[in-house]
Structure 1
Amino acid sequence: MDHLTGKIALVTGGNSGIGYAAARELKQQGAQVIITGRRKEAIDKAAAELGVVGFVADQGQVAAIEELAAFVKDSYHKIDILFINAGVLEGESIEQATEKAFDNVIGVNFKGAYFTLSKFIPLLNDGGSVVFLSSNTASMNGANSSIYSSSKAALNAVMRIAAVELAPRKIRVNSVSPGPIQTEILNKLGYSNEQLLQLNEWMIDRIPLKKIGKAEDVGKLVAYFSGDAASFITGAELIMDGGMSLT
């Protein structure tokens, strides 16, 4: 497949999980891809495996986003595809929430994503595509998810407004909202293997299709949003959660 030949794509948080899968799919469809992440070792390893360019940048730091934008401008001048994917997850009740957890999640998932878009608007070619990684939790009401869910709901609001603001340049802005996906993000919460198994069983029981999604599925949707087949789609949030949010 070469639907994206000649396009330049930037994927934040591209060293693992959904970002990695999206970077691989974009490259397979012909795009030249740049991935970012906070850990140099992880970025170097992923970039080598994928055959893409890696750049160390912390999406939670505006100064780092500006450095990334300067690198992209100097090296590529313009990009066609921006997948704002980097994110963190912490689960706390509202009563037990800490300022540290709040600042971490909102700082990366919302503030970081917001300023990534802001700083890269001048570098987007007319007719380009922006995709945010949101979550089905943005429109759900699960306990202990208030900070994370709020960050993703805010992201969807920005997505819709950006779609209006960038429409004169034919730049499309959309979001993908997955449900449970098999990635490493849950492992980072410190769950044991037994706890992860119980969590998977709990989630599968609440998903009509009775399975956990794959990062590759999300990557393919990102690539679709980035291509000509989606040229009349902007301001859209596509929920892909096996029907979880329906129940």
Structure 2
Amino acid sequence: MNRYAGKKVVVTGGPHGMGLATVKALLDGGAEVLLTGQNEANLEAARRELGPEAHVVRSDTSSLSDIDALGAIVRDRLGAIDLLFVNAGFASLGPFDLVTEASFDKTFDINTNGAFFTVHRLSPLIRDGGSIVVTTSAASDGGTAGMSAYSGSKAALRAFTRAFAAELLPRRIRVNAVSPGFIKTPTMGIAGASEKLLASLGKEGNDVTPMKRIGSPDEVARAVLFLAFEATFTTGAELPVDGGLGQGLFLPHV
């Protein structure tokens, strides 16, 4: 099936998890994809799995010079693009009184500053009528102990999504966000998570999610591609992919 034939796409944070699932779906649909990541082992694994069909580029989202270099690479390899999926992210858990200046800065440098300047640098390369999708998080609504810095960094992306959508209206570029809940990725979104923590997060996700299970990367990828190519009358929106976690749903007592 070639539903994305002729489409050119950039995915930041693409070597594993939700990013990789989106890249695979795009490649299966005939798109040309450039994906980025920082961890060389993850990048090499992506190169082996995806083969020559994907452009795999090392780029640090927290580095403005890397973002500038990425813009030049995208222009040289792809030219104009149809979709920018801003997915690179970082999270660490801990009570707010133990957050250090270094960990706070890293969280915002990647999730917030990096996302902003990725759109800033690459939006001129998006074709008029193209699309941007940003990954926010269910954690940005309400309050979750141990996730103050992460939640704040992702809440900023929700505001960015609306503002970018307004600014890019003259070019008919739609800007939307996908907001995942508990998703079964290799790290469950937590940098350096141990096997014990991953198991705990999986159990917690199954328990607290109204649908009583955690989601899959493929389910997030389908939401991303819906916003990117199908939701042609939607911009400035945030689509939850969280099994009802952020929607105030409760199972009836029977």
Letter in 2 for 1:149: S
Which residue matches 1:25?
Answer: 25
Q: 1:201 to 1:79 in 2, by over 3 A?
A: same
**Alignment size in residue pairs:** 246
Aligned-pair identity in percent equals: 39
CA positional deviation for 1:178: 0.4
Matched, 1:36 2:36: yes
Which residue matches 1:232?
Answer: 233
- Which SS does the other structure have where 2:185 is aligned? coil
CA distance in 2: counterparts of 1:188 and 1:205, whole angstroms: 19
Within 5 Å, give how 1:39-50 maps onto structure 2. Answer: 39-50=39-50
CA positional deviation for 1:188: 5.4
Which residue matches 1:109?
Answer: 111
Q: For residues 206-241 of structure 1, what are the alpha-carbon distances to aligned partners after superposition, in whole Å with 9 as ceiling and x for unaligned? A: 1111101000111111111121x2111110000111
CA distance in 2: counterparts of 1:199 and 1:230, whole angstroms: 32
Matched, 1:150 2:145: no
Give the structure-1-normalised TM-score.
0.95
Within 5 Å, give how 1:61-100 maps onto structure 2. Answer: 61-100=63-102
Within 5 Å, give how 1:151-230 maps onto structure 2. Answer: 151-186=153-188, 189-227=191-229, 229-230=230-231
Any unmatched runs of 5+ in structure 1? none
Matched, 1:141 2:130: no
CA distance in 1: counterparts of 2:84 and 2:149, whole angstroms: 25
Query: Any conservation in 2 of the 1:18–1:219 contact (CA below 8 Å)?
Result: yes
Letter in 2 for 1:213: G
CA positional deviation for 1:77: 1.8
Which residue matches 2:130?
Answer: 128
Q: 1:193 to 1:48 in 2, by over 3 A?
A: closer
CA distance in 2: counterparts of 1:222 and 1:56, whole angstroms: 22
Query: Any conservation in 2 of the 1:89–1:185 contact (CA below 8 Å)?
Result: no
Root mean square deviation, CA, Å: 1.5
Give the structure-2-normalised TM-score.
0.92
Query: Any conservation in 2 of the 1:174–1:234 contact (CA below 8 Å)?
Result: yes
Q: For residues 123-168 of structure 1, what are the alpha-carbon distances to aligned partners after superposition, in whole Å with 9 as ceiling and x for unaligned? A: 1100111000110111121111110001110001001010011011
